[in-house]
Amino acid sequence: MDLRSREYDEHERAELIAEDRAARMYRRRLNAAPDCRDPDHPGCERCVEEEEEDGHVQ
């Protein structure tokens, strides 16, 4: 996210920063304690092993 590319008012800038921070925190929590059932799950070794065992490798 590049906040310098256009003029933002103070409220827009604060909202964009808060959204970016929330997205990063969500990703960090998701990667720290992955739940393979979560649709946003980025994938992990356990998922790959389960897919290979089931024969559903993408």
Exposure string over 30-45, b if 16+ CB within 10 A, otherwise e: eeeebeeeeeeeeeee
Residues 20-49: pLDDT tens digits? 999 999 888 877 777 788 777 777 777 777
User: What is the spatial distance between Cα 57 and Cα 52, in angstroms, rounded to a whole number?
Assistant: 6
Residues 5-20: pLDDT tens digits? 567 788 998 999 999 9
Residues 6+ apart with CB under 8 A from 1: 16, 20
Give φ, ψ of 21 to 5 degrees. Answer: -65, -45
